[in-house]
Structure 1
Amino acid sequence: MKISIVTVCYNSAATLADTLASVASQDYPDVEHIVIDGGSTDGTRELVEREGGHVKVFVSEPDKGIYDAMNKGLAHASGELVGFLNSDDVYTHSGVLSRIAGVMADPALDACYANLYFVDPMRLDVVRRVWRSRDYEPGLCARRGWMPAHPTFYARRALYLKHGGFNLDYSLQSDFDMALRLLDIHGIRTRFVPEFWVRMRMGGASNASVRNVLRGNLEAWRAVRAHNIPVPPWFILVKLASRLGQFGKRSLDLG
């Protein structure tokens, strides 16, 4: 099966080369790499032209933010499976996409996901935080603010065609809203694979400041309410507390 990888970026020349190289190094033969750039002015376009020989689709134009860019990527995707690897992310090894294809060879599955390393922005081999996921249980997103690590989430493109793309009403937590819709509301069939597939640099938009953390959690709360799901009064506290266990963990095994 063809796997479409969507990378969204904006003024990401400092980190995008690592992402391009990581996708190019995958040993899986049928990969469609789509790069959606928000109209960068820092040399990102020139970088893709120079080092993105494997890139099948490159779009560089203004957009309405990261989730608008992701929707553009979905519109260009032609693979049976779609995943998102942002411009500060890399795979943990060259066999990740082969592993995903093996898991998703099971026709009963709609999606799969795994664990993720948060790494030092300057040292991809230095782990700062560990996101260990879990098997999904019905209602887990709405009840606890849980979601799979989005850069490890691979779903059949047909799901997005059927249930829609990312909701631009949420500038920080549209990936949570997507997980809520696909898992809690539509009950897609998923498999958690207890492996590490992605290294993600610390410092993403949703965690860039305390203000953004609070805004993001309020957005998640609003997303649950928008779907007419009763929200426990402790929702935000539980969502915040669930992240505390990710800190203080270290691992030198990045393979």
Structure 2
Amino acid sequence: MKVTIITATYNSADTLTSSLESVLEQDYPNIEHLIIDGGSTDNTLEIIQQYCCADNNIQCYSEPDNGLYDAINKGINLATGDIIGFVHSDDLLAHPEIISDIVAYFEKGNYTGVYGNLLYVDRKDTDKVIRNWTSNIFHCNLLKRGWMPAHPTLFLKKEVYKECGSFDDSFRIAADYDFMLRVLSKNKYKFGFLPKVITKMRMGGKSNKKLKNIVIKSQEDLRAMRANDVKNPLVTLFLKNVSKLKQFI
């Protein structure tokens, strides 16, 4: 199966190289890497161009956009892979065999989606773990407790996007949560938990670097829950936030 990896960038020069290298180092032979740039003004595009020249499977598209989710939607529309996943410009794949592991798991379980574990790491030292997001075997009842897989670890067959639509970019921070509620609640899909670390995410992301953004995210989480008919959304929001505390232990 062909795997499309989408990376959205905007003035990402400080962290982009390690993200691109983590994709380039994968031992899986059939990867399409789409880089969707929002019109960077630093040397992001220079870095990307070096990689595009070295590997024909890397393609870059650069133009102004309406933020991260707009860029992701553009990437989804351009994707030609059977499976779609994301490596954001602050993130990196955990090890060179992980895409091979993911594809093998898709095939083994005939899954529609596969997800795994995530490590939050120091921005400069990506071997220094700050938080450990260990996921669970999927059951739809977990959604009522505020559970969700770490979105950067979630790989889905392209058909899911055709059937469920793309990310709602009216959300500033929580469009991934809204999208996952929409998809994970579908009984027709089968999701597999690969018990391995798939992604390392640098601390300081959009949803957790400022108190204001944490408040906005909580408001948007509530909006997503109500839009997707989650019962008792205030309780679910409380459980969702409390469940994150164990990631620091």
User: TM tier, shorter chain?
Assistant: over 0.9
- Among residues 102, 115, 139, which one is paired with 1:113 in the alignment? 115
Over aligned residue pairs, what C-alpha RMSD do you find? 1.4
Matches within 5 A, 1:1-255: 1-52=1-52, 53-54=54-55, 55-106=57-108, 108-141=110-143, 143-185=144-186, 187-248=188-249
Q: Alpha-carbon deviation of 1:93?
A: 1.0
Q: Alpha-carbon deviation of 1:107?
A: 6.4
Distance in 2 of aligned mates of 1:40 and 1:137? 40
1:41-90 per-residue CA deviation (whole Å, 9 max, x = no partner) reads 01111110113433532111111110110000101100000000000111
Count residues in correspondence. 247
Give the unaligned 5+ runs of structure 1: 249-255
Deviates more, 1:132-141 or 1:167-176: 132-141
Deviates more, 1:87-96 or 1:24-33: 87-96
1:230-250 per-residue CA deviation (whole Å, 9 max, x = no partner) reads 2343222211101111114xx
Q: Alpha-carbon deviation of 1:184?
A: 1.6
Amino acid at match of 2:22: S
Name whichever structure is richer in helix by fraction.
Answer: 2
SS of the aligned residue for 2:119 comes to strand
Give the unaligned 5+ runs of structure 2: none
Are 1:9 and 1:87, in contact at CA under 8 Å, matched by a contact in 2? yes
Distance in 1 of aligned mates of 2:228 and 2:182? 8
Distance in 2 of aligned mates of 1:229 and 1:119? 31
Deviates more, 1:158-167 or 1:48-57: 48-57
1:83-102 per-residue CA deviation (whole Å, 9 max, x = no partner) reads 00000111111101100110
Are 1:145 and 1:220, in contact at CA under 8 Å, matched by a contact in 2? no
Amino acid at match of 1:178: F
Distance in 2 of aligned mates of 1:20 and 1:147? 26
**TM-score where L is the length of structure 2:** 0.95
Distance in 1 of aligned mates of 2:212 and 2:84? 31
Identity %: 40
**Which residue matches 1:251?**
none
Q: Alpha-carbon deviation of 1:186?
A: 5.1
Amino acid at match of 1:13: A
Distance in 2 of aligned mates of 1:103 and 1:198? 16
Are 1:8 and 1:69, in contact at CA under 8 Å, matched by a contact in 2? yes
Are 1:104 and 1:112, in contact at CA under 8 Å, matched by a contact in 2? yes
Which contiguous aligned blocks of 4+ residues in structure 1 show a shift greater than 6 angstroms?
none
Deviates more, 1:207-216 or 1:40-49: 207-216
SS of the aligned residue for 2:159 comes to helix
**TM-score where L is the length of structure 1:** 0.93
SS of the aligned residue for 2:230 comes to coil
1:13-37 per-residue CA deviation (whole Å, 9 max, x = no partner) reads 1110111111010000000000001
